[in-house]
Structure 1
Amino acid sequence: MHGDNFDPDRVDLPSGCLIGGERVPGDGTVTEVRRPSDGKLARAEAGASASLVDRAVTEARHSLKSSGWAEMEPRQRMAIMRRWADLVDAHADELAQLEATVSVRVVSSVRLRDVPMTAEMIRFYGECIDKIEGAVLATRGNRFSTLVREPYGVVAAISPWNTPMLLATLKIAPALAAGNAVVLKPSEFTPYAILRVAELGLQAGLPRGILSILPGTGAETGTALVRHPGVDYVAFTGSASTGARVMCDAATSGLKPVSLELGGKSPQLVFADAPDLDAVATLVAASVCANGGQVCFAGTRLVVEASVADQLVERIAARMDRMQAGPTWDGATTLAPIVSPAQMKRLESLLDAAEAAGARRLHGGGRIDPGLGGLFYAPTILGGMADDNPAVREELFGPVLAVQTFQDLEQGLRLADHPSYGLAGGVHTRDIAKALKAARAIQAGTVWVNHYGPNTDPNQPMGGYKQSGFGKDFGVMGLEKFLKTKNIAFQI
């Protein structure tokens, strides 16, 4: 038995919305929150109606004025966020179980990565509060010109289901640190852990109403929130198609800035002189299979030099075969379930289209049944594809690797650069000049060389190019996007 294992039937799931510092029953569309691992109903949750959205936004605007949160001495806000981070650490087991029960995050990963990173992001942005500087601008002697930074006001944040607690915190923590109020709509399928994180923030000293949590559907809660005239800024993480709708909705009540962290179809560009093919195989298999393949930055396109392609694919397949499908409440699980029947249907439909367009299954494929009742898909490797194949072009959101080979550097760079997405990429080579050329050529917001995936350093910004969105998460840039700049000029 793994030390993180737990019984999901014994987990007490917090219900409702958080508005004005108190839990409020939802009054909108009811969602069946099901456990992806076994398909069982965890709870039927009523989301937030447009009326509750209005209440939360009104509370947020009132709290900004009454609490003086934005004008508070910076280190006082910092002290609150430090206490908050400490409380998250202290409630690690509770939060890990809340997250793993209804999401595709395995409890051991949540306990070892997501909870510590959630606490660290709150702590990091708390420490940034008194280190954001303005400027004195050069001008003629009888003038004095400065730049100051100010919070926007009320931030509407929308976070996804695939890494629910951490991705929500990446919006909440920097926006609050910058002096804003936040109204968050988490995925209606995974609202519980971030609701408790928010309550811990109140316990640490966040003013009542400065942070609200409104579970609910995108069509009802999300649309009402983004369109609300009392919202000053919108931060969204999700699919490219939904991100486009968010931009349109944000403009319906007057222009407001929007940041978008969207999907990806990221390449792993592997040259024959890669330092260690075994290490590369481990990185690729882990990236493709993590979260059941439901990760926006997953390196799901292997662009590999032809002379080493067969041996690398063989090693990746061997590692995929060792993936252990199981429930998210078993810490030994290494292959998580697909989140829902709708997502499984989409995955299988895209794979059927890919095969109809010429893709060949080199390894794996098909549903697997570990006897739990959930939906699991076997890690899969596809080959023989043209550039316009759906397996190359589309974000599948499942444990599927598309393989393309190249003969020379220029061909490899052409294949690695995706026509639509540009979230991340990986380059594997011993040649520093080749690595730099490739990293510059791949049009993506993040390129990792001889490794793959974000580490635990909170100061490294991440965000996309092209249809992968704009605006950065992580790092100081993740806070700066929640601040607007004002020029104050004096005539002496």
Structure 2
Amino acid sequence: MAAAFALILEDYRADFPAQLQHMPRAIHILLSACMKESRAVDVFNPDLIALPQGSNFIGGRRVIGRGQAIPVRRPSDGRVYADLDSVDDAQLGEAVEDAQRAYKSSGWAQTDPRGRMRVLRRWADLIEADMETLAPLEALGSTRMIHEIRAWDVSYTAETVRFFAEWADKIGGEVAATTPDKLGLTIHEPYGVVAAIAPWNLPLVMAAWKIAPAIAAGNSIVLKPSEMTPFSIVRLAELAIEAGLPAGIFNIVQGDGRSVGDPLVRRPEVAKVTFTGSTATGAAIMTACAQTGPKPVTLELGGKSPQIIFADAGLDKASAIVARAITLNAGQVCVAGSRLLVQEGVADQVIDCIMTAFAAHKAGPTWASDSTLGPIISEGQLDRIDGIVQRAVADGAQVLTGGSRATAPQDGSFFLPTLLQNAAQHSEAVQGEIFGPVLTVQTFTDEMEAYALANDSAYGLAAGVHTSDLTRALRATRTLEAGTVWVNRYGRSNDFILPTGGFKQSGIGKDLGREAYVANLKTKVALIEF
């Protein structure tokens, strides 16, 4: 019986997270318990994953960095599993110069658009076919669980490449309205060398958001992954060469932000910068681009996203969505729904549902089939999360569930799903991005109070609204100060046409959608007189 229930849950997870958010809570808990009973096995042995020499990718091949070695730990068990060979200053310069040379001489930007499209389609096919290499490599040192990577991350990465491939011949110039004796044209051209800095929380997916539109538009790119999750991205670059991408169009440099990230965005050859990460780092990058350019930037930064549950919502479904939105990737998602605003009168019922959902999670390593709560990326981040929670408690907040580190089979970095009540509106727990599985809960009496609480934040990345009133839902989408508003759901779908990006301190510009492709093109004007 348990094995049968486990198979059913796998079918739901294959379309994650859409199916799980609609599953009745009792069935979800039962199936999760069966998973724990029947599938407590390792999907792969982390000690047997081979890491080829050379963590950088320059000129179409792996290159061993000459910079300072950086120890890389597995957050699931705390073990140092590799020493990252970062680039030195000279190699960083070689990577950027190689990207500029490839942009000018490889013919990639001048290739007919459908030719670029065909290369990118082959690349996407190779990514999907490489599942058994990419998935364990991604799970090995990240916070992403192997079953989630297989069900979503790899295929989503491939689909991102396919989506932007299709834009290669869809954006042209325009003929302007001029006097009859003149011909005015607007012409779109690639920038040249694009510098990208990708985060650690979804390494493959976030890198694809940066790489795919830039390359599809005809640019070359130099990418710096996070030094905490550096390896799976290099495999992507190898597959790109196999697909036919010219050498030098996609280069990867490894290292930390101070020694590699900052000098990368300051290089004079870099014409545009795209970054996903913290608001503080985004501000530093924007400053560097102003000082050395100016050059355009796309920044997807921090979030402190509210989820509003009105009394007329389907409460079981809404509660499951809220719980999932803060425990996905252990809360280490920029759009994590970290503030619950629930209408008085239904708060107790919603809180009970969420606490039950939190209790059903099992912390465990990313390679274990029965893990449902992944690790925190580092001990430093774990200490930071714990500190925020403890300071909130000292300031009068109550921990309804969780509130401490979680135990797991290995000596990894785990934090229990946590529900905080009565945290002060001005407190760090309510206002700051925690980037962990910590949900604050506040109540409201009417609609306008809900929106006022939701908008009382320096961030504006995303928001969720749960209601059966269509008119109210439409008002919410107009009133909430967020780049994305989800109604009766929370989280992105596979609708790549919908751009993503935030307001206020959550960033500038958009990833995904037509907007991301156009952001990698500059506009030239031609005026021809007859």
TM-score, with structure 1 as normaliser: 0.98
- Judge which range, 25-34 or 421-430, deviates more: 25-34
1:424 paired residue number: 462
| 1:86 matched to 2:122 | no
Instruction: State the AA in 2 paired with 1:150.
Output: E
Match of 2:342 among 304, 314, 327: 304
2:30 equivalent in structure 1: none
Q: Contact (CA 8 Å) 1:31, 1:189: kept in 2 or not?
A: no
CA contact under 8 A between 1:261 and 1:469: conserved in structure 2?
yes
What does residue range 442-481 of structure 1 map to in structure 2 within 5 Å? 442-481=480-519
State the distance in 1 between where 2:51 and 2:243 align.
Answer: 21
Q: Contact between 1:85 and 1:119, CA under 8 Å: does it hold in 2?
A: yes
Is this contact kept in 2: 1:4–1:107, CA < 8 A?
no
CA gap 1:66/1:282 in 2 versus in 1, 3 angstroms? same
**Which residue type is aligned with residue 220 of structure 1?**
S
* Distance across 1 between alignment mates of 2:134 and 2:369: 15
Q: Does 1:155 find its partner at 2:194?
A: yes
Gaps of 5+ in 1: none
For the structure 1 residues 3 and 65, does the alpha-carbon distance in structure 2 shift closer, same or farther, using more than 3 Å as the test? farther
Q: Deviations over 1:409-449 (max 9, x none)?
A: 11011011142101101011111111111111111110000
User: Which residue among 277, 280, 285 is the counterpart of 2:323?
Assistant: 285
Residue 372 (structure 1) aligned with residue 406 (structure 2): no
The counterpart of 2:223, out of the listed 184, 195, 206, is 184
Contact 2:305 2:336 in 1 (8 A): yes
Counterpart of 1:23 in structure 2 is 62
Report the equivalent of 2:3. Answer: none
Give the Cα separation in 1 of the matches to 2:518 and 2:391: 42
Name the amino acid aligned to 1:239.
Answer: S
Mapped to 1, the partners of 2:247 and 2:105 lie a distance apart of: 10
Instruction: State the shift of 1:155 in Å.
Output: 0.3
Tell me if structure 1 keeps the 8 A contact 2:55–2:231: no
Tell whether 2:400 aligns with 1:362: yes
Tell me which residue corresponds to 1:74. 113
C-alpha displacement of 1:39: 0.5
Question: 1:130, CA displacement in angstroms?
Answer: 0.3
Describe how 1:429-440 pairs up with structure 2 within 5 A.
429-440=467-478
Contact map agreement 1:294 1:399 (CA 8 A) in 2: yes
**Paired position in structure 1 for 2:431:** 393
Equivalence for 1:173? 212
After TM superposition, the structure 1 = structure 2 runs for residues 228-247 of structure 1, keeping only pairs within 5 Å, are: 228-247=267-286
Residues 145 and 488, structure 1, Cα contact 8 Å, conserved in 2: yes
Greater Cα shift, 212-221 or 136-145: 136-145
Q: Deviations over 1:244-302 (max 9, x none)?
A: 1111122332211111010100000110011x211111111111111111111000100
CA distance in structure 2 between the partners assigned to 1:164 and 1:418 by the alignment: 31
The answer on whether the counterparts of 1:227 and 1:251 sit within 8 Å (CA) in structure 2 is: no
TM-score w.r.t. the length of structure 2 is 0.91
Establish whether residue 405 from structure 1 lines up as the match of residue 443 from structure 2: yes
Separation (CA, whole Å) in 2 of partners of 1:44 and 1:418 = 43
Please give the alpha-carbon distance, in whole angstroms, between the structure 2 residues aligned to 1:206 and 1:290. 34
* Aligned position for 1:342: 380
Do the aligned partners of 2:182 and 2:527 also contact (CA within 8 Å) in 1? yes
Q: Percent identity?
A: 49
* Alignment pair present for 1:141 and 2:175: no
Q: Letter of the aligned partner of 2:398 in structure 1?
A: R
1:79 maps to a residue whose letter is R
CA distance in 2 between counterparts of 1:3 and 1:192 reads: 25
Determine the C-alpha separation between the residues in 1 that align with 2:267 and 2:182.
40
Contact 2:362-2:372 at 8 Å conserved across structures: yes
Say whether the 8 Å CA contact 1:29–1:217 is kept in structure 2.
Answer: no
Q: Residues 339-374 of structure 1, C-alpha deviation per residue, up to 9 Å, x if partnerless?
A: 101101111121222223322112221011113010
Deviations 1:12-44 (A, max 9, x none): 123420000111111112211111000011111
Deviation at 1:3, TM superposition (A): 8.9
Matched residues in 1 for 2:292 and 2:325: separation?
40
Across the aligned residues of Structure 1 and Structure 2, the Cα RMSD in angstroms comes to 1.2
Q: How does 1:26-45 map to 2 (within 5 A)?
A: 26-45=65-84
The equivalent of 2:168 in structure 1 is 129
Q: CA offset at residue 4 of structure 1?
A: 8.0
Distance of 2:402 and 2:154 partners within structure 1: 32
The CA deviation string for residues 155-199 of structure 1, in whole angstroms up to 9 with x for no partner, is 000001000111011000100001000000000111111110111
State the partner residue of 1:352: 390
Q: Which runs of 4+ in 1 moved over 4 A?
A: none
Q: Quick one: distance in 1 between partners of 2:306 and 2:88? A: 41
Distance 1:2 1:134 in 2: 57
What is the CA-CA distance between 1:213 and the residue it aligns to?
0.8
Q: In structure 1, what is the Cα distance between the partners aligned to 2:306 and 2:474?
A: 15
Residues 142-164 of structure 1: CA deviation (Å, up to 9, x unaligned):
22212111111000000010001
- State the Cα distance separating 1:2 from its structure 2 match: 7.2
Q: Which moved more, 1:472-481 or 1:309-318?
A: 472-481
Aligned length: 491
Task: Find 1:199's aligned residue among 226, 233, 238.
Answer: 238
Pairwise CA distance, 1:68: 1.0
1:62 and 1:418 map into 2 onto residues whose CA distance is: 48
